């Protein structure tokens, strides 16, 4: 696979922009066709990755076939954070998150086995 043959996920924004241009669609028109908000589509075109539901809608609109993905362990019970606007967290936010994680670890009952992630 050459450097120009990136997987659709890495090229998603470029692929959306190319199809929009080819169809002479504005961002709002394309978003309506896809079934997502124009703000989400604009973020995707800027290089941000959408959530799985929106990715599936965009993938279908682009006509990209679903590729088999190796089954990964469920993250249903794992806390997750999604920063939508900023690519990186502000230092105060990161520090608050670190304090919260350390407090949760300290509060964990001693002697109980933790599930590996």
Find the CATH number of the domain harbouring 46: 1.10.260.40
| Whole-number Å distance between alpha carbons of 41 and 32 | 10
117 lies in a domain?
A: no
Q: Which domain holds residue 36?
A: 8-62
**Coil/strand/helix, residue 22:** helix
Note the Cα 31 to chain centre separation in Å. 17
Q: pLDDT at position 113, please?
A: 58
For residue 34 the two structure tokens come to 């896809």
User: pTM for this one?
Assistant: 0.53
110 lies in a domain?
A: no
Q: pLDDT at position 115, please?
A: 59
19 lies in a domain?
A: yes
* Number of domains into which the chain is organized: 1
| Whole-number Å distance between alpha carbons of 104 and 90 | 21
Q: How many CA atoms lie within 13 A of 95 on its CB side?
A: 3
- Provide the residue-wise pLDDT of the chain in tens; the chain has 117 residues: 344 444 567 788 999 999 999 999 999 999 999 999 999 999 999 988 888 889 889 999 999 887 655 455 555 555 666 556 656 667 788 788 888 888 888 887 776 555 555
DSSP 16: H
Q: How many CA atoms lie within 13 A of 99 on its CB side?
A: 6
């Amino acid at each position: 696979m050459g450097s120009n043959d990136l997987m659709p996920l890495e090229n998603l924004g470029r692929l959306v922009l190319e199809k929009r241009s080819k169809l002479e669609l504005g961002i709002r028109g394309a978003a309506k066709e896809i079934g997502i908000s124009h703000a989400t589509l604009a973020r995707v075109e800027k290089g941000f990755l959408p959530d799985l539901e929106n990715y599936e809608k965009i993938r279908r609109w682009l006509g990209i076939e679903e590729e088999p993905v190796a089954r990964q362990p469920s993250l249903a019970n794992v806390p997750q954070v999604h920063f939508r606007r900023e690519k990186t967290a502000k230092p105060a936010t990161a520090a608050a998150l670190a304090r919260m994680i350390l407090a949760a670890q300290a509060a964990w009952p001693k002697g109980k086995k933790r599930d590996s992630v």
